[in-house]
Chain A
């Protein structure tokens, strides 16, 4: 209801008319000298009251309010009660709502003022008009109060609604933002974040997990974590952690990627207690870091071994030289003296052993302190052909056939040709030796191109290597006369080229696969 109508309605109800207005105006001048005192007393009273006083911001404000109260008192006895008048009254109500003054204090305050004014009217009004003036005052004050309270209420409701709307808006906004932030954090991290339920079934699989495992979330969600991504050998300890899961716990579990590669992942398990996701498994892929650390350790070790080996080689070769020359002399002397075959054989054995020791020293030096590579563009097809030719005699003796499987277009790579020839010959000779033990077989030398790499395979149909044999470790050998350095040197030469070598072996098929970068100039 608009203000004007409300006022008219109220005035009708309490029967406030023009005569009442005139009576109030008639006493104004008699009362006005006391208005400052009333205002002063009113605010002094409020100062004593804790809750009411809390609304004030300072003395300046109180002074301002005190003069506002005097203005109001003059207005109340002004005799003109029009729309503008009640608009100002409503404004007072709204201001009180804004400053947060409780409504009950408006009643209390009005009661105090009313009492003072009644006293003043009684003391100063004309006798005949006293009762009518008091009645007019009560009516006027009640209308004032009613208008102020309604305005207060309207203002208050409006403010609450505004505040609520704002709060709702803010709430909605920050929830959306929060969700976005969390989603971004989960999706942008390179760590694996996998959410599982109590049974260990995957319900959440972030982008990091997808990148490391190679599996899409749609493939693994709903499957048990352990069977979906943990490598076979690593499942048992992982199962135990999940079962006894006193989160937060840490554990390591190697995972098998879609491509069949193993990644070393350090996991942390945290209790999530969401609807379905009871545990969050947060994994950090340490494969690369470990590989680098291993490589650094290996390089350091090799450098130390290299220095040691160089010094040792000199110390060993010199006495071996003496021994060999003396053996040569002995052999000659024994022959001249027509010594027994046995004596000659004994000398020959010593000579052979010296030769073997000398070869070991050379190989070890090769492994431990390789000469720097001199890379030049070289035809890998030609290297393979030459290698097959060099091994032809040995192959024929062992009834081994060497086949070449070369691409239609030759591959040229930046390599140290003599070193690559050395490793290929080594691999081929190993294959021939393995086949010789079973009266022959086949060796295939294969060459293939990848975008940035050349792949050379040396395959044989021999008995295969023992499972998990550390064939690339120094001094590991399956041959009674082997030094155990051949494949270690091969490994070193390949890695020095920035390439990789791997072996795949079962009975009847063993493949050594060497992958060499073509080199930037050739790519």
Chain B
């Protein structure tokens, strides 16, 4: 009966935070994969199955969050994107993307974040 779990790709170079976020999301019913830099995130996006949502930091080693987001949109033009960043000021670079990613400033308040994510994916 259970619907197939949606796949969320987390991109963050802060390993422990990424793992903890993944764990919380899994408990809330998502499938989660983690990439620790921009390049591997792009490599993962190029493979099937294409994730249902992207959660990415902006500043990342080897290709930044903007590049990852743009690539994700080439894989799936309406993929919901959550940008989680220490530099919300830099998020204006994302204005070119349509639909616009949702921007969260670190530290992430998990309750607010998961509520927003589920709204975006529904």
Could you tell me which A residues sit within 8 Å of B by CB distance? 310, 313-314, 317-318, 320-326, 328-329, 332, 354-355, 358, 362, 365, 369, 371
* Docked pose: A318 CA to B16 CA in angstroms: 11
Interface presence of B98 (CB below 8 A): no
Number of A-B contacts (CB under 8 A): 61
- Selected from B27, B87, B111, the residue in CB contact (under 8 A) with A314 is B87
Of A324, A329, A365, the residue contacting B23 (CB under 8 A) is: A329
Cβ contacts under 8 Å, B87 to chain A: 310, 313-314
Q: What distance in Å separates the Cβ of B110 from its nearest Cβ neighbour in chain A?
A: 4
Task: Give the residues in chain B near A329, CB-CB below 8 Å.
Answer: 20, 23-24
Contacts A314-B86, A317-B105, A328-B24 given: A322-B14 contact, CB under 8 Å?
yes
Q: Are B86 and A313 in contact (CB under 8 A)?
A: yes
Chain A residues near B68 (CB, 8 Å)?
Answer: none
Q: Is the CB of B105 within 8 A of A332?
A: no
- Scoring A322, A323, A325, A358 by chain B CB atoms within 10 A of each residue's CB, the highest score goes to A325
Q: Is the CB–CB distance between A332 and B107 below 8 Å? A: no
- Quick check: A325 and B110 within 8 Å, CB to CB? yes
Select A362's contact among B14, B105, B108, beta carbons within 8 Å.
Answer: B105
Instruction: Give A344 to B23 CA distance when docked, in angstroms.
Output: 20
The yes or no answer to B17 lying at the interface (CB within 8 A) is: yes
A325 touches B20 (CB 8 A): yes
Are A324 and B24 also in contact (CB < 8 A) when A313-B86, A314-B86 are? Answer: no
* Contact call B21/A332, Cβ cutoff below 8 A: no
Task: Write the nearest CB–CB distance from A349 to chain B, whole angstroms.
Answer: 15
- Interchain Cβ contacts under 8 Å between A and B, 27 examples: A313-B86, A313-B87, A314-B59, A314-B86, A314-B87, A317-B105, A317-B106, A318-B14, A318-B17, A318-B86, A318-B106, A320-B106, A321-B86, A322-B14, A322-B16, A322-B17, A322-B20, A322-B107, A325-B20, A325-B21, A325-B108, A328-B20, A328-B109, A328-B110, A332-B27, A362-B105, A369-B89
Residues of B within 8 A of A314 (CB): 59, 86-87
Q: Smallest CB-CB separation from B19: which chain A residue?
A: A325
- B contact residues around A325 at 8 Å (CB): 17, 20-21, 24, 107-108, 110
Q: Which residue of A lies closest to B12 (CB)?
A: A321
In the bound assembly, the distance between CA atoms of A317 and B17 in angstroms comes to 12
A354 / chain B contacts, CB cutoff of 8 Å: 107
Contact between B24 and A317, CB atoms less than 8 A apart: no
Tell me whether B84 is interfacial, beta carbon within 8 Å. yes
Known: A318-B14, A321-B84, A325-B107. 19 other contacts (CB 8 A): A310-B87, A313-B86, A314-B59, A314-B87, A320-B106, A321-B86, A322-B14, A323-B107, A324-B107, A325-B20, A325-B24, A328-B20, A328-B24, A328-B111, A354-B107, A355-B107, A358-B106, A362-B105, A369-B89
Q: Nearest chain-A residue to B92 (Cβ)?
A: A371
In the complex, the 5 A-B pairs of residues with the closest C-beta atoms, listed nearest first: A324-B107, A321-B106, A328-B110, A317-B86, A320-B107
Nearest-Cβ distance from residue A252 to partner chain B, whole angstroms: 43
**Cβ contact within 8 Å between B107 and A321:** yes
For A315, give the chain B residue with the smallest CB separation: B86
B85 CB to nearest chain A CB (Å): 8
Do residues A321 and B108 form an inter-chain contact, with CB atoms below 8 A? yes
Nearest residue, chain A, Cβ from B87: A314
How many residues on B have C-beta within 8 angstroms of the other chain's C-beta atoms?
Answer: 20
Q: In the docked arrangement, what's the CA distance between A358 and B86, Å?
A: 10
Q: Which chain B positions have C-beta within 8 A of A320?
A: 106-107
Listed residue (B27, B84, B107) with the most chain A CB atoms within 10 angstroms of its CB: B107
Contacts of B20 in A (CB 8 A): 322, 325-326, 328-329
From residue B86, how far is it (CB to closest CB) to chain A in Å?
Answer: 4
Contacts of A326 in B (CB 8 A): 20
Q: Which partner residue on chain B sits nearest A316 by CB separation?
A: B86
The minimal Cβ–Cβ distance linking A355 to chain B, given in whole angstroms, is 7
For B23, B59, B109, the residue with the greatest tally of chain A CB atoms inside 10 Å of its CB is B109
Interface residues of B in 38-64 (CB under 8 A from A): 59
Residues of chain B within 8 A (CB-CB) of A332 are 24, 27
Q: A280 CA to B110 CA in the complex, in Å?
A: 73
A321 near B14 with CB under 8 A, answer yes
**Residue numbers in B under 8 Å from A362 (CB-CB):** 105
Q: Name the B residues within 8 Å of A318 (CB-CB).
A: 14, 17, 86, 106
List which B88-122 residues lie within 8 A (CB) of chain A: 89, 105-111
CB distance from B21 to the nearest CB of A (A): 5
Inter-chain contact A358/B107, CB cutoff 8 Å: yes
Contact B108 A324, beta carbon cutoff 8 Å: yes
- Among A317, A326, A332, A355, chain B packs the most CB atoms within 10 A around the CB of A317
